[in-house]
A = this chain, B = another copy of it.
Amino acid sequence: MKKNLLLSVLLTAGVSINMFAQDAPDPAIVQKIRDEGLKNSKVMEIAFNLTDVSGPRLSGSPGLKRAQDWAVSQLKTWGMVNANREAWGKFGKGWEVQKNYAAITVPYYHAIIAIPKAWTPGTNGAIKGDVVYIKADTITDLEKYRGKLAGKVVILDAKPPVEINFTKPDASRYTDSALNVMAAATPQESGGRGGIGQRRGNFASLLALRTALSAFEVKEGVALVLSQARGTDGTVFTTNGASYRDTARAVAPELETSSEDYQRILRLVKAGIKVTMEADIKTEFFTNDLQGYNVVGEIPGTDAKLKDQLVMLGGHLDSWHGATGGTDNGAGAAVMMEAMRILKAIGFKPKRTIRIALWSGEEQGLFGSKNYVTNHFGDSQTMELKSDQAKISAYYNLDNGTGKIRGIYLQGNAPAGPIFQSWLNPFKDLGAGTVTIRNTGSTDHVPFDALGIPGFQFIQDSMDYGSRTHHSNQDTYDKLSEDDLKQAATIVASFVYNTAQRTDMIPRKELPKPSPPRTF
């Protein structure tokens, strides 16, 4: 059924069925890759080093630098060439948490679960202050608090989180029927190039209020701001509270607070019960080097005609700061490193050059990959292309958590469909067989796609990515599924192998038209 559908898509697209012939994978090579990836895997060891050992990997932070240095060193140890931290341009300030303690002390003692918002300052040492509830629907409402907030802890209204979860387990995998729907999607449904923009509602007035409030808090000398985190039961989803830019406006110290702790404090103060808090938050900014870096490394091509051509694979290495980015995206980074290791371990001498890239600045706007693409391949706004744009066959990305690969998104690239279907054939027993014409967005294949380079993200089981780990304080090594990561690395290695050896490059979509600047 899937094949028939794909065939009809193909014929519509005018693609020759002869393409199948060159794309039947060599069973002996597949077996070698499977043996190395499934039986001799190092993916958990790699993940351990990127997460537990390196710590949180916020873009620009010392933790990210530790992980990058380890990755470069490990790629070299495995025999990769040109392994280095490659600057992609100006990012901004590094930042890390160096102390994080907060508790209510009146009406009784209770230490809260909270994470400093990224790029916010710490408190002025150990502080103690009463909690003040601010009720402001407009900027002028703020006036009534003037002169009353110095040394105080500020809290605002926030809705309690959604009620007890009766319906869905924390984690899930794709069902066969969901995969069938994806496989049956038509090019008309693919939905453009994939979303790199951000939906902007009519939030201008809310934004203005927030900006005014933030400045008011600083001016009034607020000791600490509480904001309610998404998440329940001790899971705190983190964000940033200020810009990473070196020109960022000053903000007050701000704690993303577990919903249970936030709502408790809010209920008490709204009932007129005095709540006093103590806190000691120390954060450190790093401004010596404002550059952003990606890790790159290569297995050089060996075919005289093809070695200047590239196959790329990657995923972002940066994470949020509340945990160690196990699933976002320690998983993807570890899988891509492991795929490189597998290819090296089986003694592969590729025709085309294989290059891994572990991006940074992804969480702030795909900066690492976008700037890399601009630096190496061309400008997606003007569509001025560099010569290497024509020499890169494909980029493969992994960034949807720890779930195994179930297939691949074509990003509307119909001619690539039968090739990938053929490449997935030997992995159907591992649960990966779906090719969908659909787009997926929000990660580092998008800047490639935007410049007309075939860029792909695999379909992955979602696991507990949405409910528990994605950007949360619980995104740790523990949330990695070893079997899933082994499977993913094996399949990625095989895709990269096939792309490196294929007579032709991966077919391309029509080149996108120049476009005005977009917000990533």
Contacts and interface: CB of A to CB of B under 8 A. Distances in A.
A135 interface: no
Interface in A47-80: 48, 52-56, 62-63, 66
B463 A55 contact: no
A273 B53 CA distance: 8
Contacts of A273: 53
A203 interface: no
A263 interface: yes
A52 B271 CA distance: 11
A502 interface: no
Which of A97, A109, A271, A474 is the most central at the interface, judged by chain B CB atoms within 10 Å of its CB? A109
A260 B231 CA distance: 16
Residues of A contacting B: mostly: loop
Interface in A303-326: 323-324
B263 A478 contact: yes
Contact of A260 (B99, B160, B258, B478): B478
A144 interface: no
A259 B164 contact: no
Contacts of A165: 169-171, 464
A218 B465 CA distance: 42
Interface stretch (A100-108, A355-363, A508-516): A100-108
Contacts of A263: 476-478
Contacts of A271: 48, 53
Contacts of A52: 264, 267-268
Contact of A234 (B103, B160, B233, B267): B233
A436 interface: no
A111 interface: yes
Interface in A285-336: 323-324
Interface residues of A, number: 62
Contact of A99 (B109, B235, B267): B109
A438 interface: no
B109 A259 contact: no
A397 interface: no
Interface in A452-494: 463-464, 468, 473-474, 476-479, 481
A12 interface: no
Given A171-B165, A234-B233, A263-B478, A56 B113 contact: no
Which of A52, A172, A258, A479 is the most central at the interface, judged by chain B CB atoms within 10 Å of its CB? A52
Contacts of A324: 264
A168 interface: yes
A97 B104 CA distance: 12
A236 interface: yes
A386 interface: no
25 contacts: A53-B273, A55-B109, A56-B108, A97-B109, A97-B111, A100-B109, A101-B103, A160-B478, A164-B170, A164-B463, A164-B464, A164-B479, A165-B170, A166-B169, A166-B173, A167-B169, A169-B169, A170-B233, A233-B235, A233-B468, A234-B258, A259-B478, A263-B476, A264-B476, A264-B477
Interface of A: 48, 52-56, 62-63, 66, 96-101, 103, 107-111, 113, 160-161, 163-173, 231-236, 258-260, 263-264, 267-268, 271, 273, 323-324, 463-464, 468, 473-474, 476-479, 481
